[in-house]
Amino acid sequence: MIDIQNEEDKRDVPLQKVGVKGLRYPVKVLDKRRKMQTTTVVADLFVNLPHHFKGTHMSRFIEIFHEYHSDLSMKRFLAMLDEIRLKLDAERAFGTLSFPFFLEKSAPVSGQSGMMAYDCSYEGLVSAHEHEFFVSIAVPVTTLCPCSKAISTYGAHNQRGIVRVKLRNTGLFWIEDVISMIESCASCGVYSLLKREDEKYVTEQAYNNPRFVEDVVREVYLGLQNFPSEKPFIWFSVEAENFESIHYHNAYAYTESGER
């Protein structure tokens, strides 16, 4: 059969990325307690396309991804991108996998359990001389305003916020440990199931532990610098956003560390 993709293109325009986007697929990722966790990713997979190629072979992305989807640890993810690069005769391969990471979390007093979903992603780039891997994790938290507490006769405004970290690393670390560390840096964590005694605890915990958005980012930064992983993070970024309960805007802070 005629293969149009393999025909020569004479327009002399190289393309930085071509491939498949928005692929939904069941996968398995590492889980500290259960070893593996099944979740669903939205995958974007690309290669660069030299100027003399008319097109790439889209089906090969799916074929290779299917071979790896039952185990997508860091090493397997990078190995998959390298195979895509080689099979498609490309210089570089790129990939992003976005997925919910599920964690069973117990309420602080009653011990009642509920499931939490944390938005995570893997991002990779592979060439003959480059192997880059990033993990992004978004963690919902509670923050209570120190200024509001200081100036009010009683009470203080509090709100839910989101802390996002992006981590570059070459060794093993657990997503669950990063989540736990981030929650400890806020006024209080967020839970899917709370009984009345838990609500009392969460409310008082936040009141006794006020945090500006700037405080949260600085505490998470220090936590990542001293994080007990197999190897230290080569680079990381931290951002926090508070969905303010009394202001018509959100509060935001960002920082990063290391060489990207």
Residues present in the chain in total: 260
- Rounded to an integer, what distance in angstroms lies between the CA atom of residue 250 and that of residue 243? 5
Residue 40 has a CB neighbour count (10 Å cut-off) of 11
Residue 169 binned pLDDT confidence (cut-offs 50, 70, 90):
confident
Give me the domains of the chain, ranges plus CATH numbers: 1-129 (3.10.270.10), 137-260 (3.10.270.10)
- Rounded to an integer, what distance in angstroms lies between the CA atom of residue 141 and that of residue 182? 8
Helix (H, G, I), strand (E, B) or coil at 84: helix
- For the entire predicted model, the pTM comes to 0.91
- Rounded to an integer, what distance in angstroms lies between the CA atom of residue 76 and that of residue 78? 5
Give the pLDDT score at 74.
Answer: 86
pLDDT in tens, 117-160: 999 999 999 999 999 999 999 999 999 999 999 999 999 999 99
Q: Which residues of 155-168 are buried (b: 16+ CB within 10 A; e: fewer)?
A: ebebbebbbbbbbb
pLDDT in tens, 47-102: 998 656 665 678 899 999 999 999 888 889 999 999 999 998 899 999 999 999 99
